[in-house]
Amino acid sequence: AALKSSLGAMGAATGKRVAKVMLADRPQGMLATAGNLVFGSDRAGFLTAYDPSTLKVVRQQNVGTALYGPPVS
């Protein structure tokens, strides 16, 4: 699949990009948590948790249906 979107992490102190990953599906929204995770959802049905510093996938789960809104807590 062609990569359609990207996700970037910015350093709070410097404002400079510290990490970037390319994504196959455009996220429907992102949620940063105090638990040191960033969550994203997409229309392919995946809810994905990322490490906020490296943007490496910590966990990914297909919920069985398309997700048309951002994650909420």
Per-residue confidence (pLDDT) for residue 73, from 0 to 100: 85
Tokens 């429907």, residue located: 28
Per-residue confidence (pLDDT) for residue 1, from 0 to 100: 58
* Residue of 46, 40, 50, 38 lying closest to 70 (CA atoms): 40
Distance, CA of 21 to CA of 68 (rounded, Å): 21
Dump pLDDT digits (tens) for 11-53.
989 999 999 999 988 889 999 999 999 999 999 999 999 999 9
In 10 A of CB 46, how many CB atoms?
Answer: 19
| DSSP strands (E only) in 1-73 | 5-10, 17-23, 27-32, 38-42, 46-50, 57-62
